[in-house]
Amino acid sequence: MGLSTAEARALLERYPDRPVVGAVGSHSALDIADGAVTEGLSTLVLAQAGRDATYAQYFRTLRGPDGERRRGCVDDVWTYGAFADLLRPAEQERLRSAGVLLVPNRAFSSYVPLDAIENEFRVPIVGSRRLLRIEERTERENYYTLLASAGIPTPRAVPGPDAIERLSIVKLPHATRRLERGFFTAASPAEYREKADRLVARGTIAPADLATARIEEYVLGPVFNFNFFFSPLVPRAEGLELLGVDERRESSLDGLVRLPAAQQLALAESDRIPDYTVVGHGSLTVRESVLEEVFRIGERFVDAARARSPPGILGPFCLQTCLDRDGRPTVFDVAARIGGGTNAHLGLGHPYAAALYRGPMSSGRRVAWEIRRALAEHRLAEIVT
Ligand code: AMP
């Protein structure tokens, strides 16, 4: 049996009064650390040896003679040979003794096996431990089933390659870099076979993954990633906030679309099929008339997550959408934790969050604010699992 929410919450009984905000060092750790420090909390980044300079050197907290922070936001860095070393009982004890509240990001849920997070990791997680699994497309209960139960529009699923009738996207992991994408598009069964063969030959995808790939219709429209926050500490009607919107830069896709068609066609054959490796983020806003629907979708998602996987969403989550020509959002991916693009709002915050909080508010700061509020009201248990 996995670690129950009650067991995770009981771990807090032996926690110090001033916990430390921790995050695995990659993805959104800087946003989490910056936000925590802004709210007066201490921070710890759990980094992999050899991938720690960003945190241990460049964003490390430097203090003046009075002990005050003068620079940086990462107060402490612990390094590991591999992130899964966090599971060692002695490391877990060390985290608990330091009073670490772990803010889960995609680096945590990718590099530490989900089974172990659910069953063995006895450190309080700020957010919804069990919902991390819904991101895995091959799970029986995944974000598609959750979105369907919430009545939220998703791209139409295509049952198999032979059923491809219009532009579709085939979703499978990269053959070797398993955390990256091996996505490709096809508008017919013949194009599917031709591209699949080429990508297998190029080593981008593996035949075994094709068998379990998700195929869905391609939504023609720009991508908007909506970074929400849900607080269980306030009445339900006040719980949902839209903090900000980001978009991604994907390589090689974004490089290709910056070329005129003639130059695209002059590229080597192997460069003409884009990769979808996320390499950066930008900040966006949406047409105001679209916001109402965005909130409706966010509310439905919160309700469905709570019903299907109690206690549901606690804190940040991200709905990744394409907006069609009528401005209707279709959700093609979900993060039931802090999104990958919140560094676009790092430090400065985002216009929507600023409009709510009357000042700079990032996703990381909002998480820390929630922790501070929960501490002040002796309700920390309500935001961890
Ligand atoms: P994901 O790994 O789900 O975040 O998707 C990576 C990228 O694939 C997104 O940023 C979009 O550019 C694109 N994408 C995914 N699903 C769709 C879809 N159904 N229609 C159009 N583009 C999509």
Atom number of ligand 1 nearest to Cα 225: 10
pLDDT at 1: 60
Kindly give the distance from the C-alpha atom of residue 170 to the centroid of ligand 1, in angstroms, as a whole number. Answer: 10
Angle in degrees, CA 340, 345, 349, rounded to 5: 140
Is the CB of 218 within 6 Å of ligand 1?
Answer: yes
Is the CB of 143 within 6 Å of ligand 1?
Answer: no
Is the CB of 229 within 6 Å of ligand 1?
Answer: no
Domains recognised in the chain with CATH numbers: 5-129+373-382 (3.40.50.20), 161-217 (no CATH)
Q: Is the peptide bond before 235 cis (omega within 30 degrees of 0)?
A: no
The pTM of the full predicted model, rounded to 2 decimals, is: 0.96
SS (H, E, C) the chain: CCCCHHHHHHHHHHCCCCCEEEEECCCCHHHHHHHHHHCCCEEEEEEECCCCHHHHHHCECEECCCCCEEECCECEEEEECCHHHHHCHHHHHHHHHCCEEECCCHHHHHHCCHHHHHHCCCCCEECCHHHHHHHCCCCCCCHHHHHHHHCCCCCCECCCHHHCCCCEEEECECCCCCCCECCEEECCHHHHHHHHHHHHHHCCCCHHHHHCCEEEECCCCCEEEEEEEECCCCCHHHCEEEEEEEEEEEEEHHHHCCCCHHHHHCCCHHHCCCCEEEEEEEEECCCHHHHHHHHHHHHHHHHHHHHHCCCCCCEEEEEEEEECCCCCEEEEEEECCCCCCHHHHCCCCCHHHHHHHCCCCCHHHHHHHHHHHHHHCCCHHHHEC
Q: Terminal CA-to-CA distance of the chain, rounded, Å? A: 15
Is the CB of 209 within 6 Å of ligand 1?
Answer: no
Kindly give the distance from the C-alpha atom of residue 154 to the centroid of ligand 1, in angstroms, as a whole number. Answer: 11
Instruction: Supply the residue whose CA is at minimum distance from atom 3 of ligand 1.
Output: 333
Instruction: Supply the residue whose CA is at minimum distance from atom 9 of ligand 1.
Output: 223
Instruction: Supply the residue whose CA is at minimum distance from atom 18 of ligand 1.
Output: 218
Atom number of ligand 1 nearest to Cα 320: 4
Q: Could you read off the pLDDT tens digit of each residue along the chain, which spans 385 residues?
A: 689 999 999 999 999 999 999 999 999 999 999 999 999 999 999 999 999 999 999 999 999 999 999 999 999 999 999 999 999 999 999 999 999 999 999 999 999 999 999 999 999 999 999 999 999 988 888 999 999 999 999 999 999 999 999 999 999 999 998 888 899 999 999 999 999 999 999 999 999 999 999 999 999 999 999 999 999 999 999 999 999 999 999 999 999 999 999 999 999 988 899 999 999 999 999 999 999 999 999 999 999 999 999 999 999 999 999 999 999 999 999 999 999 999 999 999 999 999 999 999 999 999 999 999 999 999 999 999 9
Is the CB of 278 within 6 Å of ligand 1?
Answer: no
Spatial neighbors of 186 by CB under 8 A, at least 6 apart, are 161, 164, 167, 168, 170, 192, 195
Mutate to test the pocket of ligand 1, among 158, 209, 223 (most ligand atoms within 8 A of CB): 223
Instruction: Supply the residue whose CA is at minimum distance from atom 12 of ligand 1.
Output: 223
